Every structure is written in structure tokens, then in C-alpha cells.
Structure 1
Amino acid sequence: MSELTSTSGYAEQADDLFVRYEALSAAETHAHWRHLFPEPPARILDIGAGTGRDAAWLVSLGHSVLAVEPVEALRLRAAKVHPEPEIEWLDDKLPDLPDTHARGETFGMVMLNAVWMHLTAEERSTGMARVAALLAPGARLFMSLRHGPIPHGRRMFDVTGEDTIALAAPHGLTAISHVRRNSILSENQARGVEWTALVFEKPS
């Protein structure tokens, strides 16, 4: 069996993920930190954009989105499901995000939803520096970390909010929100899945 990577399991489960993710309202999923989003129009980077559900919702709020997704089975289908011209799709991957950086662009908001816990400690160290450099002055980074049983075929680590805050600090990122919450999905609640929601701000 080949070694699991940060994206293991996603291509194989793409059909199921589209059904599950698209059935869940982005507005409901992100209601807990919506008040911390920038005013539109902002330029937003969605790293690990998956099915494009969140990118499409952000566009509906008046923003434009660079949607980064390394899993081809998700990215190509997402671009068809969410054809909004304000969404630009890019094949790129943490921790280095080389093609994102090559654009020479910074963002008013970066979303890392359900991505960070797939990375090893070394990848998280590299990735934090790379993500911090993509934030414009005064911009915010939104991160969610999953805790609980690891789904079959996936690679995950139990990354704490405290660890992530400590990793972000040397890059000038200050945590302005740190909340541990239950999953909004009943099936995940039954499994004991919880989430840590973090919002960081870069100095102006």
C-alpha cells in the first residue's frame, strides 16, 4: 500500500464529497465567523477549495476568489458545477503553493477550511510561512481544524489551536478568534468529531 499524502482519499471519494458538501449550506457552515469577513469586494484565496461550494458563496457575497485545489477529480468538476466568472481555479498545493506565489498577488482574506490537519508538522511549518506571505496588510486568515476519528483512506494529525497560534506568531499573525465547536453534521456528532475555528490577522 502506498504511503498516504495530504490529499489521499479525496479523488477516490469525489462523487460522495460532491453530494455531501454541496448539500450543506456554506452560509450555515461559516455562520460562526461570518462577522469577521472583510467587506466586499475583497480578493479571497480559498486553499483546498474542494467542490467550490464556499468559493461560489463568497462570490455571491460580492467577492472574487482564487480557488486552489490540487485534486483534479474535484477541481475540474467544481469548475463546471460553479462556473461563476469571479472564480478562478488553480492547480496548486500546500505547503509551498508555488504557482499561487508565482502570480505575485496578495489577498484580503485566505480560507483554509478543513485542510491544515492533513499536513505533517514540517509541512505546516513551511505552509504557515507561505500562507502568511500571501496575506495583504490587515488581511485575515480563516482556518478550521478537524478533531476525531480519521476517515478511512485519509491522512490526518491532531493539530491543536494552541499549536497553530504558536506557529503563526513568528509570521506576525495574531489570533483574533479561537473557538472549539461541535460538528454541525449529526453523523459526525455521533462519531465525536469536533472542530477548532481560528481567525488570524496580519498587521496593517
Structure 2
Amino acid sequence: MTLHASSPSIPGTAGYGTEATALAAQYESIAFVDVHRDVLHLFPQPPSRVVDIGAGSGRDAAALARAGHHVVAVEPTALRLEGRRIHAGLPIEWVEDHLPELAVLHGGHRRFDLVLLTAVWMHLDAAEREHAMRSVAALVAPGGRVVMSLRHGPVPEGRRMFEVSARDTAEQGARYGLGLLYSGRREDTQGRADVHWSVLVLERPAQPAGPGPTAG
């Protein structure tokens, strides 16, 4: 099933739709465990409700579905079609939606135990990031986590990217009730010497326990 959100233009996706086949092959050549190695111990145990926002070819969504999670893959570009083809045998729910609004997800009033944002955040400008963090935070269930990576380095030709700091992103998350659980740095999985990544895990506190018995 594919759900749709109508949008005449999504600035952050510049350069992705026209190169979908080549990009899908590139993404699929990189192992899920190599991308997320440092924070895999912070992922929830299956079966959990997972949404991969900006899922691309579905590499991460597929790995999580194989692990037994209930996975929604959100991708607004033609990469979604590549992902559905490559991972056709897996129970992934593909949704056509996009940041910062995430109108389709919010229309379904859904909450998730894990929100994955891999190589997505730097495509949004400052105003879009503020809006997007509010949208993302509203999707996180009590006790749920957001795992995100931020790219640092030169901007490839034809792409729309901004320099985004880990500290600013963590502070932004805190404004919407997401506390910082982990912050780290990793080198580029493609071996580019001029590119590195910040990795953040944000967490919404679990609902507080109810009041204990009153002493009589």
C-alpha cells in the first residue's frame, strides 16, 4: 500500500528523483549495520513500531522489517518505487509523504517507538527544521526514540543541503520534549575523506507512573 501527500515541489529532494536507480544501487551497497553500528544497542526490541522518514531505497526499512519490526517507510521521491521493487517480499508499508509537514502520517494519528532520520535533516533550512522537529516529536510514543544522522562536508552539485550542528539539533529536540540520549561522530561509510557524520539519539520520556497508595 502506498499513501500519498500532494506537493507541487519539495525543495529538499532536489537531485534525488532523477537519479533514483543509481542512488538506490549506491544506498543498497552500504550495510545497515555499518551505518548504525554505534547506536544499534539503542534501537527498540522487536516487534516495535518504526517509521523511516526519508527511507530512500528502503535499505534500513528492510533490515528492520527482517528483524521483526512493524515498519513504515516514508519517501517522497522516485526512490520509493525502487525501494518497493527491491524489497517487494518484505512487509513494509510505503508512504508518500515528506518533511516538514508529514501530513499523511499525522492524518493517521500514529505514534512510533522508533523514528529514523538517516541523512535527511541537512536538506532542510532553519525554518523547515523547526517545523520538522515539531512534526517528528509529535510522532514519538512515550519512551520512543529518534535516531538521526547529520552530514558535514561539501555539498554535491545539484543538491540542497545546509550545515547543521548536532548541538543545535539536540537543543531543538529538547524544545519539543525530546531529551538527548546519545551524541557521537562517525566517518563516512563511502570513504569520503571530506565528509563525516553526527549521530544523535533523542528520547521522549516514558509516561510517569501514577501516584502510589496514599498512607492512611
Q: For 1:171-186, list aligned pairs within 5 A.
A: 171-186=176-191
The match for 1:203 is 205
Q: Secondary structure at the match of 1:94?
A: coil
The match for 1:19 is 25
**Pairwise CA distance, 1:118:** 0.3
Contact 1:147–1:158, Cα closer than 8 Å, also in 2: yes
Alignment CA distance shift 1:53-1:121 (3 Å): same
Distance 1:185 1:196 in 2: 15
Q: For 1:108-147, list aligned pairs within 5 A.
A: 108-147=113-152
Contact 1:132–1:171, Cα closer than 8 Å, also in 2: yes
The match for 2:82 is 77
Contact 1:56–1:84, Cα closer than 8 Å, also in 2: no
Instruction: Select between 173-182 and 105-114 the one with higher mean Cα deviation.
Output: 173-182
1:152 correspondence with 2:157: yes
Contact 2:52–2:71, Cα closer than 8 Å, also in 1: yes
**Pairwise CA distance, 1:84:** 3.7
Distance 1:137 1:83 in 2: 31
Q: Secondary structure at the match of 1:6?
A: helix
Instruction: Select between 176-185 and 97-106 the one with higher mean Cα deviation.
Output: 176-185
Q: Give the alignment's TM-score, normalised by structure 1.
A: 0.94
Distance 1:129 1:104 in 2: 14
Please say which structure displays the higher CA radius of gyration. 2
1:38 pairs with one of 35, 40, 44: 44
RMSD: 1.3
What does the per-residue CA deviation read over 1:92-132, in whole Å, with 9 as the maximum and x for residues that have no partner?
Answer: 01001001101111001000000000001000000001100
1:57 pairs with one of 28, 53, 63: 63
**Pairwise CA distance, 1:85:** 4.5
Q: For 1:160-171, list aligned pairs within 5 A.
A: 160-171=165-176
**Pairwise CA distance, 1:185:** 1.6
Q: Secondary structure at the match of 2:144?
A: strand
2:73 pairs with one of 42, 58, 67: 67
How many percent identity over aligned positions?
47
